[in-house]
Structure 1
Amino acid sequence: MTVLAAAISVLAVLLVLAAWRNDHTISSDEGVATAEVLSAGRLRSAVSFVTPDGEMHNPRLGVLYPTNLVAGQRIDVEYARSEPDLVRVAGRDASVAVIPALSVVVVTWAIAGPLILVLRRRAQ
């Protein structure tokens, strides 16, 4: 149980670190465009936008930080010019991932902690 809770915690931390890395990649080579939201969901939203070179992009993994988007909406996005499929909603960054990741860690240990104690007592 301890290993499972620790693994979930590590994955949550890695998720936040990956978000910060993506933000750094975007910020270090940033392009800005107006995108149309093609589909919107809590965890994934698809967008389509045109870069200054006239290329249409529809990132297959969607846009980063997609909360509160609506299909058909036009939004500003920031993307890595060297990697236009890496795109986030303008004005949002990895800080929005911290609270959900922290919540996962807290809930995981809130469940695992008592279970670990019960299992240890039974083992004695």
Structure 2
Amino acid sequence: MNARVTRRVIRGVAIAAIVISVLSVLLVVAAWRNDHTIESDMGTATGEVLSAGSLRSAISFVTPDGVTHNPELGVLYPTRLTVGQLIDVQYARSDPDLVRVAGRDASVAIVPALSVIVVTWLIAGPVIWYLRRRWANEPGVSRNFASS
């Protein structure tokens, strides 16, 4: 690889790692925002789990006005749910499709987001280090990374 290509690959890897890290942080911020929306206008109900998965679980619940809701995007924080299980849910009365499992909040998103960030940099860091070393050892290349 010539110096120009190596430099572009290094920048590409760094930019990809930064983007993944920022998206992980934004995921936690969005979860916190959803929690804030629910807590500012909270309704509670008992819901039934219609389908269960680690990333998405479908539920059905009835609000006090007698309307049955089946949120298209499922319930927030769906881990450890089983089909047919009855669960307490908290929802935003202004938007009953925004619903979470009672007792769970954005804090459950922190560990997965941090894990993604750590793994991303555990991969990107050594790749960047290797490419910088390789680039610096090419004939006629300045050893100052910032000047290129």
TM over 0.5: yes
Count of residues in correspondence between the two structures? 124
Q: Does residue 11 in structure 1 map to residue 23 in structure 2?
A: yes
**What stretches of structure 1 move > 6 A for 4+ residues in a row?**
none
2:54 corresponding residue in structure 1: 42
Q: Does residue 59 in structure 1 map to residue 71 in structure 2?
A: yes
Structure 2 stretches of 5 or more lacking a match?
Answer: 1-12, 137-148
Q: Does residue 98 in structure 1 map to residue 73 in structure 2?
A: no
What is the identity percentage for the equivalent residue pairs of Structure 1 and Structure 2?
74
| Selected match of 1:113 from 115, 125, 128 | 125
In structure 2, how many angstroms separate the alpha carbons of the residues matched to 1:59 and 1:120? 49
In structure 2, how many angstroms separate the alpha carbons of the residues matched to 1:102 and 1:113? 16
1:74 corresponding residue in structure 2: 86
1:24 corresponding residue in structure 2: 36
> Secondary structure of the residue that 1:17 maps to in structure 2?
helix
> Secondary structure of the residue that 2:77 maps to in structure 1?
coil
Structure 1 stretches of 5 or more lacking a match?
Answer: none
CA positional deviation for 1:89: 0.1
CA positional deviation for 1:122: 1.6
Pairwise CA RMSD: 0.4
> Secondary structure of the residue that 1:85 maps to in structure 2?
strand
Amino acid at match of 2:99: V
In structure 1, how many angstroms separate the alpha carbons of the residues matched to 2:57 and 2:91? 15
Q: Deviations over 1:1-59 (max 9, x none)?
A: 00000000000000000000000000000000000000000100000000011111000
In structure 2, how many angstroms separate the alpha carbons of the residues matched to 1:97 and 1:9? 14
Answer 1 or 2: which has greater strand percent: 1
Amino acid at match of 1:94: A
Bigger Rg over Cα: 2
